[in-house]
Amino acid sequence: MSYKFWLMLYNSLFPPLFLLLDGHAQLLLQQIQTSVTKEQYKIARMDCKISGLKNFKSAVIHWYRQISGRAPERILFISESEPSIDQPSNKNKFHCEKDPDKQISTLTANYVTHNDTATYYCAHR
């Protein structure tokens, strides 16, 4: 059985998300895939391309998920080192990496089940 994992930083109804940093530079967060569908117990990967950062390597990238009918919750964040997982129960479920050359952050969900069906977001602060 396959499950759909929605990765949505913006959708077709709205333009890409632009944020202002200190009122000077524009930051663009752009999804690579509009959705990810995986069979149960497989691995799902979701990419977020972030343009407009002067120092992507040290940038703090946050990943959130929103399960239908619930408020968004942060899963983890990553800066220059290993990601910091918010809930200890998610330690083996989620992982995150950053590719400074491509300015892409990748969230990995291990051994996906129907409980992982949600909208996933990345953010920068």
Q: What is the pLDDT of residues 50-89, one digit of tens each?
A: 888 888 899 999 999 999 899 999 999 999 888 999 999 9
What is the spatial distance between Cα 62 and Cα 76, in angstroms, rounded to a whole number? 6
DSSP 3-state of 61: strand
Please determine, for residue 28, whether its predicted confidence score (pLDDT) is greater than 80: no
Sequence-distant (≥ 6) Cβ neighbours of residue 59 within 8 angstroms = 50, 53, 79, 98, 124
Q: Which pTM was predicted?
A: 0.77
| Fold of the 2-108+117-124 domain | Immunoglobulin-like (2.60.40)
